[in-house]
Structure 1
Amino acid sequence: MSSTPSGTDSILDRLRGSGSPLHIVMVAPPYFEVPPAGYGGVEAVVAQLADALVDRGHRVTLLGAGRTGTRADFVPVWEETLADRLGDPFPEVLNALKVRRIITEIAQNDRIDVVHDHTFAGPLNAPMYKVLGIPTVVTVHGPVDGDPQEYYRALDDTSHLVAISDRQRSLATELNWLGRVYNTIRPSEFPYQAEKQDFALFLGRYAPYKGPDLALEAAHAAHIPLVLAAKMNEAPEKEYFERSVRPLLTDSDVVFGEADSIAKRLLLSQAKCLLFPIRWEEPFGIVMIEAMACGTPVVALRGGAVDEVVESGVTGIICDDPAELPAAIAEIDRIDPAACRRRVVERFSDEHLGAGYEAVYYAALESAELPRIPAVPAGRRRDRTLSVASNG
């Protein structure tokens, strides 16, 4: 299909609420494939969203690294993934430059309605896309305090930001938020199991703010084995493991290593509980809904979006102090596995993801100051904050 990029007539049709299909160019980080084989929460969400939007009749062009397993049209920005460069700023910046060139080339021959960027440096391209008449939607997958807050504030009105939890949005209310859409999973891909084995699970990466040391201490106090299935590729992760995790290990603990998608589902379905003792404002925490989909309750420290994801006393137990974690583990058998699964199906299943972002895209088109469309009033962005999620 070839048409005038961001043609006036097609944009006005959408501004009138025609609900016509969109062409969304989605930008993924360069570190893992979409979907990821193992670690990669952002990439898992991007894969679900791409397929959900295709199912809803939209056209999606996905820019990423390596290969893809989605139904979107795929343009490789990198032939190989850059997992070993995670944390290095150079790949982020170079990825943004490469993506800018690709999107410019696409826009010369085809209509792009929305650029949806899931990277950190990518939104720096938004002013140029705006000149082309293309609004940029940015999902903020990370923290919004300190330096990131200053960064997102500096983007001002060039990017429409989407939060992944109400808590995340509340921590920086002055940012140019357009909406909130919870992360989701496909429940059908996670095996439900009511009968559990006698071990607790820590799943994530070795970092102090993730709390693997707290998980070990809580499991030992509760006299239950702990399986640690965590990512340990980067130098800081290895250093933290040697300094703060290895000295706490006992013969009852199992250092499983980084779990691929098959092993992760097996561990989540069999564990008595998932330990999520975070020490930071976790914007969402997708591993919690993965566990609950398997019928596995979550024992967590209160922080970030934990209160929005886990219903304490129903799908897990939320603690205010690490000293409370062992008692919570001891009480976890009273949580109904079916209630855990039900919460994910009702609030965090992928059917809500496509609908949520579809509404965001149309709102971005309606509120954007697009070139060649003088009829669109200025100054409407900050008045159109949506709250889009599975629960309305």
Structure 2
Amino acid sequence: MKIAQVTPLYEAVPPRLYGGTERVVAHLTDALVDLGHDITLFASAEAETRARLIPVRDQAIRLDPAPLKSDLAAHMTMLAEVLKRADDFDVIHFHTDMIHFPFFERFADKTLTTLHGRLDLKDLPGVYERWPRFGLVSISDDQRRPLPFANWKATVHHGMPSDLYTFSPKSEGYLAFLGRISPEKRPDRAIEIATKLGKPLKMAAKVDAADKAYWETVIKPMVDGNALVEFIGEIGDHQKPAFLGGAEALLFPIDWPEPFGLVMIEAMACGTPVIAFRCGSTPEVIEDGQTGFLVETMEQAVAAASRAHLLDREAIRARFELRFSATAMARRYLDVYGDLLARRPFAEAPLAEVVTPLRPLEEDRSFAAIA
């Protein structure tokens, strides 16, 4: 199949430091190439990809030192480039929320849109009622709850390359927090859990401008006054295996409807169990008592963190490889692409199916579902 992947332009593909959506797009794109498909990636120029790259901006927006820039203008320019080439693709896969809807109405039946963010925002229902022809993919079943009427085609959980993070058979005895310093991520809970257990806590986290006051007034005083807590700051992919692999457990004490939570599977790839509050997607990602523990109170979280070392780290890694590899994710998306093509009125079959009509369907499509 000829597939376009259209990513947000806020971070590089993959991100240099913090970033979820662009990291997932990078992993998906490379996995689709490895499975033999013709992939074109629309992204900023510093993207590292095995696909054909169409650079639409000189660099990603967040780390661009230019003092004045317009994210709207950058994304409109990218959409114009995609629209110019729309006839070249069997499927155009957008990861840009809903900004493309008005421009691609006549191509809606060849598009797929993965929604990566929270959907409980005031203005969103009107958009999905106005443009119902665009097929949508959720990254967890829980993410769909605010928009049950939307044109959902599938839920596809995130994945990442199996060889990106190395398995760590033994921890170094500390707890870890990885993500953003923001009220909904509840780093204060992580500090409280570690303190009650008397265990070291390492925090690798980004502080956005919007969360600076929260950092300065709430979290920084908790860090500065606690000898058990080490604040490392924002880290990139090359630092994560050692950081997560050395942890006895990853603390994921969220207090919001997390759409997925990529850090959970990053920890699992290292064999590290996850202590997650039962909120948003966490029950879909964490298998309670196997890859971590799901909790609802601070008392439960402290108790779970105290016995995380009893879980089998090899088994956790094995569950990651089965459920959350990049190849598993890509094959699930290929199922959705194939269904999209099959339902398109008067659509021509992809070339591979035309020239090899006698091959079995599963082999022909090459994307049998994986658990």
TM-score of the superposition, structure 1-length normalised?
Answer: 0.83
Residue-by-residue CA offset, 1:10-41 (whole Å, 9 max, x unaligned): xxxxxxxxxxxx22111111111111222111
Offset of 1:244 from its aligned partner? 1.5
Residue 144 in 1 paired to residue 123 in 2?
A: no
Offset of 1:129 from its aligned partner? 2.9
Conservation of the 8 A alpha-carbon contact between 1:30 and 1:82 = yes
The alignment of Structure 1 onto Structure 2 pairs a total of residues equal to 347
Conservation of the 8 A alpha-carbon contact between 1:200 and 1:272 = yes
CA distance in 2, matches of 1:390, 1:277: 31
Structure-2 residue corresponding to 1:242: 216
The structure 2 residue matched to 1:177, chosen from 152, 163, 166, is 152
Structure-1 residue corresponding to 2:237: 261
Residue 222 in 1 paired to residue 197 in 2?
A: yes
CA distance in 2, matches of 1:155, 1:344: 38
CA distance in 2, matches of 1:269, 1:389: 31
Structure-2 residue corresponding to 1:377: none
Segments of 5+ residues of structure 1 without an aligned counterpart are 1-21, 373-387
SS state at 1:188 partner? coil
Residue-by-residue CA offset, 1:230-269 (whole Å, 9 max, x unaligned): 012x312222211220121212211101011111111001
Larger displacement relative to structure 2 (171-180 or 202-211):
171-180
SS state at 2:47 partner? coil
Conservation of the 8 A alpha-carbon contact between 1:181 and 1:389 = no
Structure-1 residue corresponding to 2:362: none
* Residue identity opposite 1:236 in structure 2: A
* Residue identity opposite 1:23 in structure 2: K
CA distance in 2, matches of 1:369, 1:171: 30
CA distance in 1, matches of 2:239, 2:91: 36
SS state at 1:272 partner? strand
The structure 2 residue matched to 1:68, chosen from 34, 37, 47, is 47
Structure-1 residue corresponding to 2:6: 27
Conservation of the 8 A alpha-carbon contact between 1:143 and 1:281 = yes
Are residues 211 and 291 of structure 1, via their aligned partners in 2, closer, same or farther at CA, if it must alter by over 3 Å? same
Taking only the aligned residue pairs, the percentage that are identical comes to 35
Residue 311 in 1 paired to residue 276 in 2?
A: no
Are residues 282 and 148 of structure 1, via their aligned partners in 2, closer, same or farther at CA, if it must alter by over 3 Å? farther
The structure 2 residue matched to 1:321, chosen from 278, 282, 297, is 297
* Residue identity opposite 1:261 in structure 2: D
Conservation of the 8 A alpha-carbon contact between 1:62 and 1:72 = yes
Offset of 1:99 from its aligned partner? 2.0
Structure-2 residue corresponding to 1:43: 22
* Residue identity opposite 1:267 in structure 2: F
CA distance in 1, matches of 2:368, 2:239: 29
Offset of 1:122 from its aligned partner? 3.1
Structure-2 residue corresponding to 1:56: 35
Offset of 1:144 from its aligned partner? 1.6
Structure-2 residue corresponding to 1:231: 206
Offset of 1:158 from its aligned partner? 3.2
Structure-1 residue corresponding to 2:101: 124
TM-score of the superposition, structure 2-length normalised?
Answer: 0.87
Q: In the TM superposition, what are the counterparts of 1:1-392 in structure 2 within 5 Å?
A: 22-83=1-62, 91-107=70-86, 111-125=88-102, 128-132=103-107, 135-147=110-122, 149-150=124-125, 152-232=127-207, 234-249=208-223, 250-368=226-344, 391-392=370-371
Conservation of the 8 A alpha-carbon contact between 1:182 and 1:390 = no
Offset of 1:359 from its aligned partner? 1.5
CA distance in 1, matches of 2:146, 2:336: 21
Residue-by-residue CA offset, 1:329-366 (whole Å, 9 max, x unaligned): 11111111111101101111111111111111122233
Structure-2 residue corresponding to 1:18: none
CA distance in 1, matches of 2:194, 2:200: 6
